[in-house]
Structure 1
Amino acid sequence: MEINCPRCAIALVSPGGGPPWCPACEWNLDAYDERRPPELGWRWLDRRAHRLAYRLTMARHAELHADPARPMPGGGRTRVVLLVASVLLLAVIAGIVVLGAWIVIATWLSLATVFGVLLLLIAYAVRPRLGRLDRDADRLDEMTAPTLFALLRRVADATGAPMPDVVEVDAVLNASAATIGLRRTRVLRLGLPLWAVLTPQERVALLGHELGHFVNGDTRRGALTGVATRTFGELALLLRPGPPAGDTLVMMIADLITRAILRVLCTGAVAVHVLLVWLSMRDGQHAEYLADDLAARAAGTTAAVSFLDLLCRAETLDMIVRRDARAGLEPPLWRASVDELRAADPVVRQRAIRQEVSMFAGHPPSGLRARLIEARAPHAPAVVLAESDDASIDAELAKRYAVARREIAIGG
């Protein structure tokens, strides 16, 4: 039986199940799908968090739609909060180190020395982590992949972004950019399954988006602004109570008291961690939209929208890639298998919005990202990847493709 929208009388849709919504006015699109895995642990709280996340996400999209020139993130209240939290946290850790060292030196080889050593160990456990290079990662260089690096240089020039210091590839259907370590090494990682299925201009869009993360003011990637979110997460894990212990009544009571104290401290650390992560994620979504805009400037609006529409079908895309890998097809042939997924479909975009909305989502829903690029003034491609150069890149990656196909086939 067909059910019509109570607001505009259009037939409701529900592809894949879940609460139906109106494809015209999007009535009930914000409804919580009970099949979603829990995020906060309680269904009633997850439902409310989902609706709040939906409202905030749509409000941010509307703001950027109305004001394309909205300033980059990183200079507002979120950045101030993260900076203050990070500075205070670093001051506390430094204080613990100084106190621990003073106790060890002043009470050497006494019972108090144990307490000083314990403070030093705690400071070491929650020390700020800036990330490190993966020694086992498969890295590319300009000698083995000259055409790819030439393309990277062209995209970097078009977006005003610096070249990555390290380029890695793996067998994951994804791509990422990060700045890590004390030297702030810029790392670009390309997932070969994703790279293989993209058209030449979609590949330019992917590179434009990822290189855009080096210049879009994302507070999540700052050396100092990211300290608080990472450290409170480590602190929560450190304070998490272990299994009950104790053989005697006294030890059991002592263990019970200790566990109660740790539970309170752990809950506090988790609450602060969740708050800071939520703040940085909301700000980070703005940065993702800016990276999408740079992708459109580099590859052209058409390619950027096509790329984002493909991301709306990530689950189907993953199944197709795994199917082709198990069938023994070489990665360059996977592109033809996903051609039918490139057509823009408002319902698919809407379904992606419902599925991807979250209080802790670092990316805006891919359906909204495609909408925002379409709504803005169109861009002609600043970088055009010729078919011959595209084929040369595939040839440069041939050995890596073979390894990725085997990994996907075995894992799938």
Structure 2
Amino acid sequence: MRSATEGTTRPCPQCGNEIRADIRFITWCAVCDWNVDPARPEEKQERLERVRRTLARRHGEKLLAEVTTGRTLSPRRDAPALFAYAIALGVHGVTLALVAGGIWCVVSGWGGAGMVLGLFLLALAWPLRPRLPGLPEDGPLLHRAEAPELYALIDEVARVAGTRGVDMIAVDAEVNAAVTTYGVRGRRLLMLGLPLWEILTPQQRIALLGHELGHYSNGDTRHGLVVATAYRSLTTWRYYFTPIADPTPGEMVVNLAYVVPYSLLQGVLMLLDQLTLRATQRAEYLADSVAARAGSTKAAVGLMDRLLIADSTAVTLRIEANKTRAARRGTRQTEGRGNELWEYLAARMASVPEYEYERQRRVGVLRGHSVDSTHPPTHLRRERLLAAEVAPAAVVANVDRERRIAAELADARSTVARKVIRDGFDD
């Protein structure tokens, strides 16, 4: 329910308490939680995703309890992590066996039935092969020579995290940021989502960089090369064995043949989730600690609040991009409106009042909001930061540096804005 008037008050229809009414935001009651979550969506998720969400909340709560009772979080390789490595090596071992068997059959059965069997085994091994990620192709890439100030800031934050900086920055339209590796040499890549970057304060941006760089030094098992490639291989195989929806009578027979391999693959994936999720959640909490050390506790907490309104950010960007696309009259106007897109988004998100953040926090508790199914619930991450010792900023934002970084990102901002306006925004 929304008010028709901005900046007024009215009595709560449930408890009578005076509540604020603003046409831009949901009207709700902070006393009785009336209308706090009027549009709670029905969760229509596949089984694996539901399990991940359940485990994320469970492990997040347990780890938060460990922190608040004085137990220290530290990166470690425990028995579940070692078991996960063993399973991952087993997956790669199956691939190697298929390749070896296929080659042997082809060579020994050249010209006969053995060659057909060998080619079949090699075809099976192909989708299961470990695939190293490459550089993304759907957004601008920033090399160090093109953005020396941004790379210098990342290097400074990396020293606080106890690691080194990144080798490449990819800019995209995600309301998110992430780090990964690419190529045979395992070079480091920072994926920087402009919608998130643009709605953060300079100090919150430092906290964001601290969080992402913290993942390189905190023992995140799931993102290690061995487990990550095995996980991708299993996910690919599960896709191939997924039962056909609305099958014909003939396809029903195929679905029956898929039951056993699909169930086996689903079970192995769920087991890997169970074994690695606690370590992944621990890694997120540790990365949050780095965020607080780099940008300050206040900035890290502010970053958590910004993550809570990520959906609102996406909706705002989508609406504004659609308006711009509908109103454009030519290339020049599109270019000008594209350059204004990020300023509008930042101003819109900066106008979000504190009571809307509080509503989002309460909604987060009800829904178990998290960045994705591998992260602890956002409200627990926020609680953990507030429960820890207050940390000052090790890296302080500088107005001149911010201006130079903005200049370095100018071309990327225009490129991504044009792409969002041209193709639409799909978060």
With the length of structure 1 as denominator, give the TM-score of the two structures.
0.83
Given candidates 175, 178, 187, the residue that maps to 1:176 is 178
Whether the aligned pair in 2 keeps the contact of 1:82 and 1:228 (CA below 8 Å) is no
Shift of 1:217: 0.8
Q: Distance in 1 between matches of 2:178 and 2:93?
A: 32
Question: What is the root-mean-square deviation in Å for CA atoms of aligned residues?
Answer: 3.0
Task: Return the letter of the residue paired with 1:394.
Answer: A
Whether the aligned pair in 2 keeps the contact of 1:216 and 1:291 (CA below 8 Å) is yes
Task: Return the letter of the residue paired with 2:37.
Answer: G
Shift of 1:340: 3.4
Given candidates 81, 84, 92, the residue that maps to 1:82 is 84
Q: Distance in 1 between matches of 2:151 and 2:420?
A: 26
Paired residues for 1:289-368 under 5 Å: 289-325=285-321, 326=323, 328=337, 329-332=340-343, 334-341=345-352, 343=354, 345-356=357-368, 361-368=373-380
1:64 correspondence with 2:67: yes
Whether the aligned pair in 2 keeps the contact of 1:199 and 1:335 (CA below 8 Å) is no
Number of the residue aligned with 1:35:
42
Q: Distance in 1 between matches of 2:110 and 2:44?
A: 52
Cα separation, partners in 2 of 1:34 and 1:168, compared to 1, 3 Å: closer
Whether the aligned pair in 1 keeps the contact of 2:60 and 2:380 (CA below 8 Å) is no
Q: Distance in 2 between matches of 1:159 and 1:191?
A: 21
Segments of 5+ residues of structure 2 without an aligned counterpart are: 1-12, 17-30, 325-336
Task: Return the letter of the residue paired with 2:184.
Answer: L
Shift of 1:408: 2.6
1:399 correspondence with 2:423: no
Shift of 1:82: 1.0
Task: Return the letter of the residue paired with 1:286.
Answer: R
Sequence identity of aligned pairs in percent? 31
Number of the residue aligned with 1:21:
none
Helix, strand or coil at the partner of 1:224: helix
Given candidates 357, 368, 371, the residue that maps to 2:383 is 371
Number of the residue aligned with 2:241:
239
Shift of 1:259: 4.4
Shift of 1:13: 4.1
Runs of 4+ in 1 over 6 A off after TM superposition: 48-52, 243-246
Number of the residue aligned with 1:152:
154
Cα separation, partners in 2 of 1:338 and 1:126, compared to 1, 3 Å: same
Helix, strand or coil at the partner of 2:397: coil
Cα separation, partners in 2 of 1:160 and 1:113, compared to 1, 3 Å: same
Deviations 1:298-349 (A, max 9, x none): 0011111111111111111223334555463252453332223374844422
Whether the aligned pair in 2 keeps the contact of 1:57 and 1:357 (CA below 8 Å) is no
Whether the aligned pair in 1 keeps the contact of 2:179 and 2:190 (CA below 8 Å) is yes
Cα separation, partners in 2 of 1:50 and 1:182, compared to 1, 3 Å: closer
Whether the aligned pair in 2 keeps the contact of 1:145 and 1:396 (CA below 8 Å) is yes
Whether the aligned pair in 2 keeps the contact of 1:198 and 1:307 (CA below 8 Å) is yes
Helix, strand or coil at the partner of 1:341: coil
Number of the residue aligned with 1:15:
36
Whether the aligned pair in 2 keeps the contact of 1:281 and 1:361 (CA below 8 Å) is no
Shift of 1:262: 2.5
Task: Return the letter of the residue paired with 1:35.
Answer: E
* Bigger Cα displacement from structure 2, 120-129 vs 62-71: 62-71
Number of the residue aligned with 1:229:
231
Cα separation, partners in 2 of 1:346 and 1:76, compared to 1, 3 Å: farther
Whether the aligned pair in 2 keeps the contact of 1:356 and 1:365 (CA below 8 Å) is yes
Cα separation, partners in 2 of 1:127 and 1:392, compared to 1, 3 Å: same
Q: Distance in 2 between matches of 1:119 and 1:237?
A: 18
Cα separation, partners in 2 of 1:35 and 1:238, compared to 1, 3 Å: closer
Number of the residue aligned with 1:115:
117
